[in-house]
């Protein structure tokens, strides 16, 4: 089996977050990342969450993507237990449409950062994780540039539809 050069942790508070979070796994998979996916809840399994975060670096993970909805403490609590970069994905909710998740994730106190993407934008979390890892991986950096170029070309082609 081909050896994967970089490993990304994708965690979420509940399996109900997966329909949103799978976009992160899909884009990381496109770039051939080794992905570790898990349901880890800050509220329902706090000990497991702490253990996960404390041991992530020794398991070879370079960046953690954490998605949660509502009182979305997972990204912040994971960030409290590791110095790996943590990217939070606010998952939309039925009652407050994800504003609750967004504010819970983005308003971290000084000293414990979490990079926060837009509500339900797990794809951007995956891309940001890849970009961080590309600092140490030239091939990945080139792959990301090629992907951006394709996106640019596809966007330009859309003008044809306007004629």
CA distance 62 to 51: 16
Among 69, 75, 90, 126, binds ligand RP5 (CB under 6 A): 69
According to the binding rule CB under 6 A, does residue 130 interact with ligand RP5?
no
Binding marks (x or -) toward ligand RP5, 75..104, rule CB under 6 A?
----------------x-------------
Is residue 17 part of an annotated ligand binding site?
yes
According to the binding rule CB under 6 A, does residue 68 interact with ligand RP5?
yes
Q: Tokens 């794809």 map to which residue?
A: 123
According to the binding rule CB under 6 A, does residue 131 interact with ligand RP5?
no
Cβ nearer to ligand RP5, comparing 19 with 60:
19
Count other C-beta atoms under 10 Å from residue 85's C-beta: 17
| Residue 81 CA to its chain's centroid (Å) | 17
Stretch that binds ligand RP5, among 13-21, 24-32, 57-65, 155-163 (CB under 6 A): 13-21
- State the Rg of the chain over Cα: 16
Residues in the interface with ligand RP5 (CB under 6 A) total 10
User: Which strand ranges, in their side-by-side order, compose the sheet holding 61-69?
Assistant: 34-39, 7-12, 61-69, 86-91, 115-116
Q: Which two tokens stand for residue 59?
A: 């398991």
Among 6, 9, 17, 56, binds ligand RP5 (CB under 6 A): 17
Count other C-beta atoms under 10 Å from residue 46's C-beta: 13
Instruction: State the residues that interact with ligand RP5 by CB under 6 A.
Output: 12-14, 16-17, 41, 68-70, 91
């Amino acid at each position: 089996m081909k050896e994967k050069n970089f490993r990304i942790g994708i965690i979420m508070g509940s399996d109900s977050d997966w329909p949103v979070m799978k976009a992160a796994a899909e884009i990381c998979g496109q770039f051939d990342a080794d992905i570790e996916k898990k349901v880890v809840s800050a509220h329902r399994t706090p000990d497991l969450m702490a253990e996960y975060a404390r041991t992530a670096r020794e398991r070879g993970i370079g960046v953690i993507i954490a998605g949660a909805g509502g009182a979305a403490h997972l990204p912040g609590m994971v960030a409290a237990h590791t110095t790996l970069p943590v990217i939070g994905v606010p998952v939309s909710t039925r009652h407050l449409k994800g504003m609750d998740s967004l504010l819970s994730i983005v308003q971290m106190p000084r000293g414990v950062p979490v990079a926060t993407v837009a509500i339900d934008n797990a794809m951007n979390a995956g891309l940001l994780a890849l970009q961080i890892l590309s600092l140490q991986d030239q091939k990945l950096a080139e792959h990301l540039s090629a992907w951006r170029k394709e996106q640019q070309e596809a966007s330009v082609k859309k003008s044809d539809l306007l004629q």
